[in-house]
Amino acid sequence: MITSYKARISMPFLHNPSFNNVLRSDQMSSTSQMAPLAVLVFLVSTTLASGAASVRVGLTRIHSDPGIPASQLVRDALRRDMHRHRSRPGGRELAAAPDGGAATTVSARTRKDTPNGGEYLMTLSIGTPPVSYPAIADTGSDLIWTQCAPCGDQCFKQPAPLYNPASSTTFAVLPCNSSLSMCVGALAGAAPPPGCACMYNQTYGTGWTAGVQGSETFTFGSSPADQARIAGVAFGCSNASSNDWNGSAGLVGLGRGALSLVSQLGAGRFSYCLTPFQDTNSTSTLVLGPSAAIAGAGVRSTPFVASPAKAPMSTYYYLNLTGISLGATVLSISPNAFSLKADGTGGLIIDSGTTITSLANAAYQKIRAAVKALVTLPATDGLDSTGLDLCFALPSATSAPPAMPSMTLHFDGADMVLPAESYMISGSGVWCLAMRNQTDGAMSTLGNYQQQNMHILYDVRKETLSFAPAKCSTL
């Protein structure tokens, strides 16, 4: 998710009043008495019902109100990129199609949001009867979370009704000694106290959320014909949180860790195609499991770099970026600029939950200088309006930007070609480089702005990332 990659603090603790199948309101309320802390929802799936071999979920970008200029949308997204820290802390296999034929899939509708932009949402439902909620799809984290009732003054406003565990017939408290409990380590093999519930907290760069873990049924799909209900989902209800998640009601982790949706489903591979940044109408699709695939002459593949074993780096999908070209010019960037060091520093990850790509400063400055040399428009200070440090003044607010060559990211064995609209952004009379610098030695991130209109396949088992240009609104 959008982040400054500050250290995550996770503080689970045991709580042992009498818990039955439904968490009582006074017990849920007790978590709101804690200091600004955190809880992330764990999505821990059982085998999909009805022999489903894949999960298909709609994706859409969170969009701004039409009256909000694109420059402000970028500024808000960049602010979240820089300040919100994502949590990066085994799964069961997806069932094979019983007839050996095409994989069964389910789909879920998603919705646009106002007033903020910069992330992509997927929609899922929790409980019986199911309550639908939108959550940010994030390949840079593992955990899933949502707000739960009762949720008072310490909760943020969300665009969907709160899930209330007391209103669901399938809710249960997750035992403290469950392998999915954050408290299992604190028990050190000892038997948990009777009625033990794992209440925990997690802080972010500028945000926090807190609550208790439970188990519930999750539903994917927008209609009875394409729904899949998954029982035994271990998750955490947040009933105290900072106001830093506008436009969603939680987050879906798609990272490499054991608690991500990908790992819990044993999906093996997943794919998505992100619709253009300023397309306010289209949706695209996230597919998890055997049906996730891309084909064609334009498909390129690059291996993942082995992630460090230490959390949170163990969650990330690292890539080996060896160079960058602007048009036909290969920029003079050291091939080690994006290397992952033995101590876990450096490297470059691909992240659907971060908007603006950040690059090691030595590389960023080369790109910045090359772009500036090609543009004849007057430079203007766009830092306050956009948060981006290289902007140009267009003749008018409605003027089209001039033509620019494509930018090529040279990965190990594969080139990713970005058209100008995937590395430059215009709005409110300014035209800016949609990238920012990162301290040399810090981790670089390929954000979702650079991934727009790109069909991307993560093959976790083969340890490869494949991609091809696509018109994502038609997929």
State percent of the chain over pLDDT 70.
74
Q: Alpha carbon of 247 to those of 85, 119, 173, 297: distances in Å?
A: 17, 9, 28, 37
How do residues 461-475 score in pLDDT, each as one tens digit? 999 999 999 999 887
Catalytic residues: 138, 351
Q: For residues 467 and 456, is the Cβ–Cβ distance under 8 A? A: yes
> Would you state the torsion angle of the CA atoms of residues 75, 78, 80, 82, taken in this order, to the nearest 10 degrees?
-130
Highest mean pLDDT among 147-151, 246-250, 278-282, 302-306 belongs to 302-306
- Rounded Cα distance, 304 and 79, in Å: 28
Specify the pLDDT at position 89: 35
- Rounded Cα distance, 57 and 333, in Å: 39
203: helix, strand or coil: strand
Q: Is residue 90's pLDDT more than 50?
A: no
How do residues 178-208 score in pLDDT, each as one tens digit? 887 778 878 888 888 888 888 877 664 456 7
Specify the pLDDT at position 180: 76
* pLDDT higher at 111 or 404: 404
**Ramachandran angles phi, psi of 210, nearest 5°:** -145, 150
Q: Is residue 353's pLDDT more than 80?
A: yes
Q: Which residues of 1-23 are buried (b: 16+ CB within 10 A; e: fewer)?
A: bbbbbeebebebebbeeebeebb
* pLDDT higher at 90 or 343: 343
Q: Alpha carbon of 99 to those of 52, 96, 154, 227, 230: distances in Å?
A: 11, 8, 50, 19, 21
pTM score above 0.85: no
